[in-house]
Amino acid sequence: MTRFDVVVVGAGPAGSAAALTLARAGRSVALLERGPYPGAKNMYGGVVYGRILDTLLPGWFEEVPFERWVTRRATMVLTPSQSLTIDFRTQAWGRPPYNGCTTLRAEFDSWLAGKAVDAGATLITSTTATGLRRDARGRIGGVATDRTEGDIDARVVIACDGVNSFLAKEAGLHEHWSAEHITLGAKEVLALPRDEIDRRFGLTGDEGADFEVLGCTGSVPGGGFLYTNRDTVAVGVVLHLPALATAQRRPEEFIADLKNHPAIAPLVGGGELKEYSAHMIPEGGYRVMPKLVTDGMLVAGDAAGLCLAAGIWLEGVNFAIASGAAAGEAADDALRQGDTSAAGLAGYRRRLEASFVLRDHKKLQRAPDFVLNPRTQQAYPKVACDLVEQLFTVRNPAPKPGGLRAAWRELRASDVRLRDAARDAWTALRTYG
């Protein structure tokens, strides 16, 4: 048995940010990691947006183990034979303070955990938290681990144990836990020579590209992604679990389809598979988040469902870091005031509500349903691609169609009811407007 002020479970971005904050405040903090090193259990869809690190680790971009700085950001809409892309690039994102980088989680997560260790946190790897410890009155007071005599007593537990969060479930905080709010991300990392990646994606130096793809997963709601590392490209899909369960198709088949799409194949062709990986993503957002606080315990990062999957915005690491740091601050406050009950820890939620973490999630709370509905997934991509095809197909001697009229015709030709289209437009306006 060991005793700490706080035990943080999971040395991903949320846990390391929490441990860093607490160690700096002078608290004794254990940072548990079940993998042999931080990041060993983690994979993601490609970009760390580091602005949140400006306050936590000033000058972070001088030393972060990045692969490339994203200067090209594309959103693609696909049908099996068409693609329509909004392709944005800016040189501004390629110089300090940068906007986002691609990175390997084994390196990034280990780097961030190292910052917590430098500040005085005790990182304990290869150790799985097997459950919550409770005192005689039933109040949470630490965690049990799978190490002999490895249980840890603490006045506060911060659960950053990822999307499956067995600790949050054990504490009864997950009321909405179901496949309905979860997607599966599956990814291939493909090796290509660095100059070949530069050439295919139009990049130089440390510049990187990040593509988000809609309409590439057939009958299963989801999406695709493609991004560049230094000498690998990563390509993957995100699949809504309830539909995947009945689709009678396997995850890697969806990746193969995406890789073989005429708009994607030239970017990834010939790449040698270096690693295949998969992970679940909590996509439900604000409406299905677990309770974030209970007596003696806080939940942060994916464990708290804080991934932002809002179509044009796909973020998670930044939400994890911000929520972890806020949990660390709230735990420190509670310890100072000698009240680690839910009331004493309530500053955590207030901090999140004042920051982008819950403000973005609240504003975008309709996005998960909107993005995953079959019209957004299949009908609208086809309408958009067909419309552009109409506009750019020259049918001389016929004159050019009017844009609005062509749009109307494509919408009527689809099986979308106008009532639904109008409602979706209104939802989109309320969400993204």
In this chain, which of 75, 99, 122, 125 binds another protein, going by CB under 8 A?
125
Q: Does 290 bind another protein (CB under 8 A)?
A: no
Which tokens is 164 given? 């499956």
* Segment interacting with another protein, rule: CB under 8 A, options 28-36, 376-384, 387-395, 409-417: 28-36
Cβ–Cβ under 8 Å, residues 58 and 82: no
Backbone angles phi, psi at 44, to 5 degrees: -155, 180
Q: Does 202 bind another protein (CB under 8 A)?
A: no
In this chain, which of 82, 145, 217, 431 binds another protein, going by CB under 8 A?
145
Q: To the nearest whole angstrom, how small is the minimum distance from the Cβ of residue 404 to another protein?
A: 38
Q: Is 117 helix (H, G, I), strand (E, B) or coil?
A: helix
| Dist. CA 99–CA 77, nearest whole Å | 24
Q: To the nearest whole angstrom, how small is the minimum distance from the Cβ of residue 66 to another protein?
A: 14
Count the residues of the shown chain that bind another protein, applying the rule CB under 8 A. Answer: 60
Q: Does 146 bind another protein (CB under 8 A)?
A: yes
Q: Does 275 bind another protein (CB under 8 A)?
A: yes
Of 42 and 79, which CB lies nearer to another protein in the complex structure? 42
Q: Does 104 bind another protein (CB under 8 A)?
A: yes
In this chain, which of 15, 35, 94, 311 binds another protein, going by CB under 8 A?
35
Chain residues 209-268 in contact with another protein, contact rule CB under 8 A: 229, 232, 234, 241-242, 244-252, 256, 259-260, 265-266, 268
| Dist. CA 159–CA 230, nearest whole Å | 33
- Side-chain-side CA neighbours of 96 within 13 Å: the count stands at 8
Look at the block and give the residue holding tokens 């909107």: 370
Q: Does 307 bind another protein (CB under 8 A)?
A: no
Of 164 and 414, which CB lies nearer to another protein in the complex structure? 164
> Which helix or strand (DSSP H or E) is residue 429 part of?
helix 418-432
Strands 2-9 and 152-159, sheet pairing:
parallel
Of 256 and 425, which CB lies nearer to another protein in the complex structure? 256
Which tokens is 385 given? 């691609």
Q: Does 164 bind another protein (CB under 8 A)?
A: yes
Of 235 and 331, which CB lies nearer to another protein in the complex structure? 235
In this chain, which of 11, 15, 18, 41 binds another protein, going by CB under 8 A?
41
* Segment interacting with another protein, rule: CB under 8 A, options 175-183, 284-292, 304-312, 373-381: 175-183
Could you tell me how many residues make up the chain?
A: 433
Count of helix runs (H) and strand runs (E) in the chain: 16, 18
Burial of 393 (0-12, 13-18, 19+ CB in 10 A): exposed
Of 21 and 102, which CB lies nearer to another protein in the complex structure? 102
Q: What is the DSSP letter of 376?
A: I
Q: To the nearest whole angstrom, how small is the minimum distance from the Cβ of residue 40 to another protein?
A: 5
Look at the block and give the residue holding tokens 């329509």: 84
In this chain, which of 15, 38, 39, 215 binds another protein, going by CB under 8 A?
39
> Which helix or strand (DSSP H or E) is residue 74 part of?
strand 66-79
Nearest to 324 by CA among 363, 355, 294, 279: 355
Of 276 and 356, which CB lies nearer to another protein in the complex structure? 276
| Dist. CA 418–CA 42, nearest whole Å | 42
Q: Does 40 bind another protein (CB under 8 A)?
A: yes
Cα–Cα–Cα angle for 367, 388, 222, rounded to 5 degrees: 30
Q: Does 363 bind another protein (CB under 8 A)?
A: no
In this chain, which of 156, 182, 292, 379 binds another protein, going by CB under 8 A?
182
Which tokens is 207 given? 């510049």
Task: Please measure the distance between the N-terminal and C-terminal CA atoms of the chain and give it in whole angstroms.
Answer: 53
Q: Using CB under 8 A as the criterion, which residues of the chain lie in contact with another protein when the complex forms?
A: 34-36, 39-44, 104-106, 125-128, 130, 145-147, 163-164, 166, 178-179, 182, 184, 186-187, 189, 229, 232, 234, 241-242, 244-252, 256, 259-260, 265-266, 268-270, 273-280
